[in-house]
């Protein structure tokens, strides 16, 4: 038998669930104690961000319809010009990233940010404005990636190359937050009839 050269790639560390007490590490204030001078993830956009101020609210539910009260959601977004931090000039202290924790009793989450601009996608096709979301929780073995689009961006959504990849057109609506003025309602369903589309990115 001939042994060929080794490729010498490493394997990615396997994911494990964040477990029920993820807040201790990533949001100790929510766990019930203060330890860090600056807890990260509270302010997505900083004080200088241009663009429309919006609030996003919703609930994550499991396959039985029950709210997932111990979820932690991270948000990653571009600024109003569609530029991600690290990719071009953005407003001073615009991080574009935040951590969102629902109310432990109701499971309702709520966060403030700005509406991102359209982002240039592959082959220079523009992607409709969207937030990138990553969900971790007890019972979730590998963090779940999804996107939140905006119901009042129908024209842009109609030509979005990612939404277009969803073969079952009726599932595209699971990624589109309903607009109520500057408040957007976005419920995430982990499993079942109205299951949100999740991505392998």
Token pair for 95: 């991080």
Residues of span 127-146 touching other proteins by CB under 8 A = 127, 130, 132, 134, 136-145
CB 197 within 8 A of CB 166: yes
Which position among 24, 81, 118, 156 is part of the footprint of other proteins (CB under 8 A)? 24
Site for other proteins contains 120 (CB under 8 A):
yes
Q: Which residue has the tokens 């766990």?
A: 31
Q: Which residue has the tokens 């000039």?
A: 89
For the CB of residue 57, give the shortest distance to other proteins in the complex, in Å: 21
Alpha carbons 21 and 138: distance in angstroms, whole number:
8
Residues of span 153-192 touching other proteins by CB under 8 A = 162, 165-166, 171, 190-192
Q: Which one, of 184, 161, 186, 165, lies nearest residue 174 by Cα?
A: 186
Q: Tell me if residue 149 falls in helix, strand or coil.
A: strand
Site for other proteins contains 47 (CB under 8 A):
no
Which position among 29, 40, 106, 159 is part of the footprint of other proteins (CB under 8 A)? 40
Alpha carbons 44 and 65: distance in angstroms, whole number:
29
9-30 per-residue burial string, b: 16 or more CB within 10 A, e: under 16: eeeeeeeeebeeebbeebbeeb
Residues of span 68-87 touching other proteins by CB under 8 A = 68, 70, 74, 76, 78, 84-87
For the CB of residue 148, give the shortest distance to other proteins in the complex, in Å: 12
CB 118 within 8 A of CB 129: yes
Site for other proteins contains 16 (CB under 8 A):
yes
Site for other proteins contains 126 (CB under 8 A):
no
For the CB of residue 104, give the shortest distance to other proteins in the complex, in Å: 7
Which position among 28, 46, 107, 117 is part of the footprint of other proteins (CB under 8 A)? 28
For the CB of residue 181, give the shortest distance to other proteins in the complex, in Å: 26
Site for other proteins contains 20 (CB under 8 A):
yes
DSSP 130: E
């Amino acid at each position: 038998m001939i042994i060929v050269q080794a490729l010498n790639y490493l394997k990615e560390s396997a994911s494990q669930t964040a477990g029920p007490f993820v807040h201790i590490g990533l949001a100790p204030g929510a766990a019930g104690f203060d330890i860090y001078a600056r807890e990260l993830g509270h302010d997505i956009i900083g004080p200088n961000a241009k663009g429309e101020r919006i609030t996003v609210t919703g609930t994550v539910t499991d396959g039985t319809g029950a709210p997932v009260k111990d979820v932690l959601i991270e948000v990653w977004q571009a600024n109003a010009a569609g530029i991600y931090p690290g990719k071009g000039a953005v407003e001073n202290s615009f991080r574009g990233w935040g951590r969102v924790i629902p109310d432990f009793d109701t499971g309702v989450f709520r966060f403030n940010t700005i509406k991102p601009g359209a982002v240039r996608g592959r082959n220079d096709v523009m992607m409709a404005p969207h937030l990138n979301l990553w969900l971790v929780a007890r019972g979730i073995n590998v963090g779940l990636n999804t996107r939140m689009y905006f119901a009042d961006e129908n024209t842009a959504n109609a030509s979005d190359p990612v939404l277009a990849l969803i073969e079952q057109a009726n599932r595209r609506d699971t990624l589109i937050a309903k607009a109520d003025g500057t408040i957007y309602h976005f419920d995430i369903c982990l499993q079942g009839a109205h299951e949100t589309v999740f991505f392998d990115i």
